[in-house]
């Protein structure tokens, strides 16, 4: 049901369009503009050397907003959409139980998160290799690895992005149990992710930054070093898992005792 909806199909098309837009823009301009430097600039600067970096750059770009938006739409609609359309109480009339219903809804969200990450990565590799070619991948540390090794690192990055998206999905599932208005659940979920990023940008409260969901989102760039530096990646996975467990527990506690009227 998640993938049959026209709205969700359109979201996948938009996500797939990001790496295409990046690759075409750099191809037309002739060289990447890495003004501003930083990790993102290093990724963009490497695109003309190897097309695989289109996928890395696209994932880096979509993580702050486009991916949370896509996940918020699906997760926010998961339960509230059923309540809004009047089908939730009929689903609960089936002897499957509320816990199983929540579990199935979250499995659908997980599938969506993986699909979003894979679509971006695969589209990025395809358009990148077409426009810029492949060959050995020069990592950000300056060493070169084979194309197969580079694609292996891309798989790690895509998995990391999907796990963090799944944490957003858990938040959205919880919010979706609080309201019967899908757009409100979607907006609230996206608003919470944006709030996390705003707080993460305020240096005066740096003490809480490691506890924020968004703090480690773009740390997958450490996978592109030799050797791979996985400390922050591990912390990011732990943070995502913690948020997922917390909000899934809250969703179950809320939904298991909720008086369903729609």
Per-residue pLDDT in tens (0 to 9) along the chain, 262 residues: 899 999 999 999 999 999 999 999 999 987 666 544 566 788 998 999 999 999 999 999 999 999 999 999 999 999 998 888 877 877 777 666 888 889 999 999 999 999 999 999 999 999 999 999 988 999 998 999 999 999 999 999 999 999 999 999 999 999 999 999 999 999 999 999 999 999 999 999 999 999 999 999 999 999 999 999 899 999 999 999 999 999 999 999 998 876 665 5
Which tokens in the block code for residue 44?
């963009």
Residue 1 resides in a domain: no
Residue 134 resides in a domain: yes
The domain total for the chain is 1
Contact at 8 Å (CB) between 19 and 55?
A: yes
| pTM score, whole prediction | 0.92
Residue 109 resides in a domain: yes
Contacts 24+ apart (CB under 8 A), 191-198: 193/68, 193/72, 193/168, 194/65, 194/68, 197/64
The C-alpha angle 95, 3, 125, rounded to 5 degrees, equals 140
Residue 105 resides in a domain: yes
Which tokens in the block code for residue 159?
């998995």
Domain assignment of residue 58, given as a range: 6-256
Residue 137 exposure: Cα atoms within 13 Å on the Cβ side: 27
Contact at 8 Å (CB) between 106 and 173?
A: yes
Check the CA dihedral 69-72-77-78 and report its sign: positive
* SS3 category, 145: strand
Q: What distances in angstroms separate CA 16 from CA 1, 22, 58, one per listed residue?
A: 20, 11, 9
Give the C-alpha separation, 8 to 33, whole Å: 32
Largest CA distance in the chain: 61
Residue 28 resides in a domain: yes
Quote the DSSP letter at residue 138: E
Residue 83 resides in a domain: yes
Residue 261 resides in a domain: no
Residue 262 resides in a domain: no
Give the C-alpha separation, 248 to 92, whole Å: 19
Give the C-alpha separation, 2 to 105, whole Å: 10
């Amino acid at each position: 049901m998640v993938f049959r909806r026209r709205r969700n199909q359109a979201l996948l098309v938009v996500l797939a369009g990001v790496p295409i837009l990046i690759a075409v823009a750099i191809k037309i301009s002739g060289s990447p503009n890495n003004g501003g430097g930083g990790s993102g600039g290093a990724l963009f600067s490497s695109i003309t050397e190897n097309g695989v970096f289109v996928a890395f750059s696209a994932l880096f770009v979509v993580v702050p907003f486009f991916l949370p938006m896509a996940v918020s739409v699906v997760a926010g609609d998961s339960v509230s959409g059923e309540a809004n359309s009047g089908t939730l109480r009929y689903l609960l009339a089936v002897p499957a139980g509320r816990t199983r219903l929540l579990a199935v809804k979250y499995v659908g969200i997980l599938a969506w998160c993986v699909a979003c990450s894979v679509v971006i990565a695969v589209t990025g590799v395809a358009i990148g290799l077409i426009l810029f070619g492949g060959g050995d991948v020069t990592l950000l540390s300056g060493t070169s690895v084979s194309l197969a090794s580079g694609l292996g690192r891309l798989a790690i990055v895509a998995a990391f992005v999907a796990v963090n998206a799944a944490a957003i999905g858990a938040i959205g599932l919880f919010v979706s149990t609080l309201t019967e208005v899908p757009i409100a659940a979607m907006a609230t979920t996206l608003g919470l992710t944006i709030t996390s990023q705003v707080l993460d940008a305020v240096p005066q409260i740096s003490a809480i930054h490691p506890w924020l969901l968004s703090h480690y989102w773009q740390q997958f760039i450490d996978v592109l070093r030799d050797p791979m530096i996985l400390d922050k990646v591990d912390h990011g996975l732990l943070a995502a898992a913690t948020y997922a467990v917390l909000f899934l527990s809250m969703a179950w506690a809320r939904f298991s005792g909720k008086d369903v009227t729609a």
